[in-house]
Amino acid sequence: MYRRVIIALDVDSLEDAERFIFPEALVYKVGWRLFANEGFRVFDFMDKRGKKIFLDLKLGDIPSTVEAALRKIFSFKPYMTTIHAISGMETIRRAKNLRDELSKDTIILGVTLLTSLSDSEVREMGFTGGIEDGVKRLAHILEKSGADGIVCSPKELLLLEESKLLKVVPGIRLTAPKDDQKRVATPYEAFQSGADFIVVGREILTAADPRRRFFEILQDAGFLDFAG
């Protein structure tokens, strides 16, 4: 059950990451910030600690380029990895086929619209119906091309309630945000709205007691009775 709460390691080094490796946490998200500094060393680091990696590089390019990158990524057997849905159906189909060949248990997630984007910004990008229109269109691409899941904000979960895609949700806060995330929710709200996984970064990374904050998130989600 705890694997449903993923900790985002938005830090600069593996030494920085060590502070946030808890016995109870299983899955950690590694994005460009840590990967740019440490590269594939992160897999050995996490392997030795019994943790799984959600490699969140948000690949977005022509099919052959994404396929070439994934051939290397899949050799490390990540738990999850991401591709921008806007890359199109052929890119995602080829990614799925390669996954089935090289790393059959890896979950392929499609990224729709970043949680830092506002409705007006999304309209300027050409989705005239705003965020709802954009998410629905991109989710359709993911479903048709065989992706396993979708990364979306908490606010789009109800739009996707009939979708069979796994729903991985960043933008999780226990309190009102004071940063660049615009579409957020509490752990409880996200799971009640249909999230399969939530991704939590700043709430834990900036806490005075990160492990305690992790337990508080589990408690808010309804996974744990926590009083100390």
Catalytically annotated residues: 58
d(CA 82, CA 108): 6
Terminal Cα-to-Cα distance of the chain (whole angstroms): 21
CA 180 → CA 49, 177, 196, distances in Å? 32, 8, 24
The size of the chain, in residues, is: 228
Measure the CA angle with vertex 21, ends 115 and 11; round to 5°.
Answer: 45
With contact defined as beta carbons under 8 Å apart, do 106 and 78 qualify?
Answer: yes
Please state, in angstroms and rounded to a whole number, the distance separating the CA atoms of residues 137 and 178.
30
Yes or no: say if 112 and 143 are a contact pair by the CB < 8 Å rule: no
